[in-house]
Amino acid sequence: MRIDGRNNDELRPIKFTRNFIEYPEGSVLVEMGKTKIIVTATIENKVPPFLRYKKTGWLTAEYAMLPASTLKRKNRDIQSLHQDGRSIEIQRLIGRALRTCIDLDKIGEKTIKIDADVIQADGGTRCAAITGGYIALCDAMKTLIDRGEIKEYPIHSIVSAVSVGVVEGEVLLDLNFIEDSKADVDMNIIMNDKGEFIEIQGIGEGASFSREHLDKMIESGVAGIDEIIYDQKLVLDSITKEIGVNL
Ligand code: UDP
C-alpha cells in the first residue's frame, strides 16, 4: 500500500476541465492527483523561417512552473536571466510528443503554441502536460474548423503519457513527488492509442536497473496509458462525435 492508499498499479484520479481559459483556441486544466497544470493551445498565422513557403504548419511548446507550485518556492526564470534546463528539456518533449498526432500540412502556414503552466506540482508534470496538451490541441483544431480556417480535422491519433518508477524494489505507477524523490528508477512513457511508443525516458537515479524491472515498468505504464486514453476519449466525445472521427 502506498502513502496515499493506492495500489502499485493504480493511477491518481485524473480530471480535465476543458475551456478553462477563454482567449486561446484551446485550453484545459488537467489534474492528476495533486498535480495541476493549465495547458493552452494558441494559433499564430505564421511558421518559423525553416518552414516558410513549404505549405505546412508547426507545433511547439513552452513549459513553466509558478513560483508557488512547488513545496519549496521556485524562483521565476527571469530572476536568473535564463531558462531552467529542466524546463527546456520538458518543453521539447511536449512539442515532440504532440507533433506525432497531427498532420501539420493540413493546417497550412500556422503555428500551434502549446503552453503548459504548472500551478501545483506533485510529480508527473511533464506527463500531465502532454496528456492535457492533447486535449487543448484537439479543442484548438475544432475551433479552427468552426471558424472555417481549416477543412479537415488534422488529428489522427491520441497521445498520452504516464510516469512509472521503482521505489524500494517495487514498480509504482504514476509517482507523486514523495515517491519520485525516493525512486531508484524514474521512467516517463509516452504512447498513442494504437499501442505504439512515442518516447520512453528511463533513468536509473544513481543506480542501474534490471531488465526485469524495465519490463515490469513498461507493462505497468502501458496499462496506465490505456486508462488515461479512455478518459481522454470520454472528455473529447463531443468533438469527435460532431466531427465524425473515430478517436
Ligand atoms: N520539483 C520541485 N522543484 C523543481 C522541480 C521539480 O519541487 O524545481 C518536484 C515537483 O513536484 C515535480 C517533481 O519534483 O513534479 C518531479 O520532478 P521531475 O523533474 O521528475 O519532473 P516531473 O515528474 O514533474 O515530470
Residue 165 Cβ < 6 Å to ligand 1: no
The class of domain 14-243 in CATH terms is alpha beta
Reduced DSSP (H G I as helix, E B as strand, rest coil) percent helix, strand, coil of the chain, to 5: 35, 30, 35
Residue 205 Cβ < 6 Å to ligand 1: no
CA distances from 202 to 91, 163, 205, 218 (A): 17, 10, 9, 10
Beta strands in 147-192 (DSSP E): 159-167, 170-173, 185-192
Local confidence band at 32 (pLDDT 50, 70, 90 cut-offs): very high
CA of 124 to the centre of ligand 1 (A): 7
CA of 86 to the centre of ligand 1 (A): 9
CA distance 202 to 210: 12
CA distances from 69 to 53, 55, 125, 179 (A): 41, 40, 11, 18
What pLDDT is stored for residue 200 in this prediction? 98
CA distance 56 to 173: 38
Judge contact between 171 and 8, C-beta under 8 A. Answer: yes
Residue 74 Cβ < 6 Å to ligand 1: yes
- Mean pLDDT, all residues of the chain: 96
CA distance 235 to 172: 26
> Which own/partner contact pairs does 149-152 have at CB distance under 8 Å and 24+ positions apart?
149/110, 150/106, 150/107, 150/108, 152/106
Judge contact between 246 and 157, C-beta under 8 A. Answer: no
Helices then strands (H, E): number in the chain? 5, 9
Domain ranges of the chain: 14-243
pLDDT tens digits, 141-179: 999 999 999 999 999 999 999 999 999 999 999 999 999
pLDDT tens digits, 190-219: 999 999 999 999 999 988 999 999 999 999
What pLDDT is stored for residue 1 in this prediction? 79
Q: Give the global pTM.
A: 0.98
Residue 33 Cβ < 6 Å to ligand 1: no
Phi, psi of 52, rounded to the nearest 5 degrees: -60, 140
